[in-house]
Amino acid sequence: MAESVSSIRKLGHVVVDRIWRLGFAARFLVAVLRYSGPSFRRLPLTLREIYFSGVLSLLIIIVSGLFVGLVLGLQGYETLQRYGSTEALGVLVALSLTRELGPVVAALLFASRAGSSVTAEIGLMKATEQLKAMDIMAVNPIARVVAPRFWGGVVSMPLLAALFSAMGVLGGWLIGVVFIGVDDGAFWSQMQSGVDFRYDVWNGVIKSFVFGIAVSLIAVFEGYDSVPTAEGVSRAITRTVVTSALAILALDFVLTSFMFRGTS
C-alpha cells in the first residue's frame, strides 16, 4: 500500500515537474521575444548565427536531400510502374517532398546538426560563467546571446527545407529521367500541373517555419536551463535532439490534419 502511494506520488512529481518546465519554457519564449530588439537592430549578431546554424548546415542538407530524392525516384518508379503511370513520377516526388519530407527531414537534420550545437554553446557559456559575467556587465544575456541564436534558427529553417526539397526533386529527376528513362517532358509537366503553389508549397513553408520556431526554442531553452556541469550540458544536448524530434513529428501531425482536407 505504502509502495503504491509512493509510486503515485513519484508519478505526480514527474508530471508536475514537466508541466512546470513547460510553463517556464513558455515564459522564456516571451522573454526572448521581448528582448529581440538587438537581434534586428544589430543585424551582424543575427547574421553570424544564420551563418553558424544555416550556412554550416548546407552540406548535410544538400547531400541528404539528394539521397532522399534518389530513393524516392526508385521507390516511386517501381510502384507507379505497376499501374503504368511512370510519367507521374515527377508529381509524386515533388508532392512528397514539399508537403512532408522536405520540412520534416530537414527539421530533424537541423535539430541534430545546429540545435545540438546551439544548446552546447549556451550550456558551456553558462557553465563557464560567461552568461553571469555578461549579466554583471549590464548586458542582458537573453538579448545578446539567446535571441540572435533563436532568430538565426527561425530564419535558416525554411530556407534549408526549401533547399532540401529542391535537391530531392533533382535526385528524383536524376534517377527517373537520366538513369531509368522516364520522359523528361512528362516528368516536369506533370509536376507543374500537379503541384499547387498555395496548397502544397506554401503549406510546406508554413510547416518548416513552425518547426524552425520549435527547434530553435528547444535548443536555446535547453542550453539556458542546463545544469552548469559537463554532465548537465551533455544531458541538455540529448534532450534538445530527443525533444525536437518528438516536437517536429507531433507538430507535423497537428499541422497536416489542419492543412490537408483530402482532395475530392
Footprint on this chain of another protein (rule: CB under 8 A): 124-125, 128-130, 132-133, 135-140, 144
The span from the CA of 140 to the CA of 31, in Å, is 11
Nearer to another protein, 131 or 159 (CB): 131
Nearer to another protein, 100 or 135 (CB): 135
Reading the block at residue 6, the C-alpha cell is 509512493
CB neighbour class for 255 (10 Å; exposed up to 12, middle 13-18, buried from 19):
middle
Nearer to another protein, 124 or 255 (CB): 124
Helix (H, G, I), strand (E, B), or coil: what is residue 57?
Answer: helix
CB of 128 to another protein, least distance (A): 6
CB of 136 to another protein, least distance (A): 5
CB of 115 to another protein, least distance (A): 18
Nearer to another protein, 30 or 136 (CB): 136
Secondary structure letter of residue 129 according to DSSP: T
Give the DSSP letter string of 167-233. HHHHHHHIIIIIII---HHHHHHHHHHH--IIIIIIHHHHHHHHHHHHHHHHHHHHHHTS-SSHHHH
CB of 133 to another protein, least distance (A): 4
CB of 52 to another protein, least distance (A): 10
The span from the CA of 105 to the CA of 102, in Å, is 6
The span from the CA of 157 to the CA of 166, in Å, is 14
CB of 243 to another protein, least distance (A): 26
CB neighbour class for 125 (10 Å; exposed up to 12, middle 13-18, buried from 19):
buried
Residue type, 100: E
Nearer to another protein, 62 or 127 (CB): 127
Whether residue 206 contacts residue 255, with contact meaning beta carbons closer than 8 Å, is answered with yes
Nearer to another protein, 130 or 189 (CB): 130
Find cell 510502384 and name the residue: 79
Reading the block at residue 174, the C-alpha cell is 536524376
Nearer to another protein, 70 or 131 (CB): 131
CB of 124 to another protein, least distance (A): 8
